[in-house]
């Protein structure tokens, strides 16, 4: 199945980004992040990559599960919530992260690195939970 292969590739990439974020979380203080452009670029890239991986995984799941196709990235997680794959709180947090990703990509000169640090500190667990749910679904043979 082509979708399953793609999902596995995206899961692998997400796993790598999550490992990076865990490492950064353990080593980088908020003060360091706010004052060091190289650290900002490094952490922001991993945050965006992790969020984009979740969006891509979500789009693959939507196809596999026959759910409503989203119009925007935020809607990927709404479709998964409507399809009972996500709880409402999970959907809301992931949709907010998709919104952050859009801002970071399209209005990059206004990225709030305090928000980046908050995501690093508080949202990685939610991204990991999403990855585990996707992995569990794959193991159940969809």
CATH of the domain at 116: 1.20.120.580
Q: Of 91, 2, 23, 4, nearest to 54 (Cα)?
A: 91
What predicted TM-score, i.e. pTM, was given to this entire model?
0.94
pLDDT along the chain (142 residues), means of 10: 81 98 98 98 98 97 94 96 97 98 91 97 97 93 66
**Overall domain count for the chain:** 1
| pLDDT of the residue at 1 | 47
Tokens of 33: 């992040």
Determine the structural domain holding residue 87 and report its residue range: 2-139
Look up residue 131 and give its two tokens: 């990855």
């Amino acid at each position: 199945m082509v979708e399953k292969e793609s999902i596995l590739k995206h899961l692998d990439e997400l796993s790598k980004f999550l490992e990076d974020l865990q490492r950064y979380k353990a080593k980088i203080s908020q003060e360091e992040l706010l004052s060091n452009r190289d650290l900002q670029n490094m952490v922001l890239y991993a945050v965006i990559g992790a969020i984009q991986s979740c969006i891509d995984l979500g789009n693959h799941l939507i196809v596999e599960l026959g759910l409503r196709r989203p119009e925007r990235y935020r809607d990927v997680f709404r479709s998964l919530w409507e399809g009972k794959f996500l709880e409402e709180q999970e959907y809301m947090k992931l949709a907010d992260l998709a919104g952050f990703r859009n801002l970071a990509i399209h209005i990059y000169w206004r990225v709030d690195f305090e928000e980046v640090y908050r995501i690093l500190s508080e949202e990685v667990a939610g991204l990991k939970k999403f990855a585990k749910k996707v992995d569990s679904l794959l193991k159940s043979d969809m």
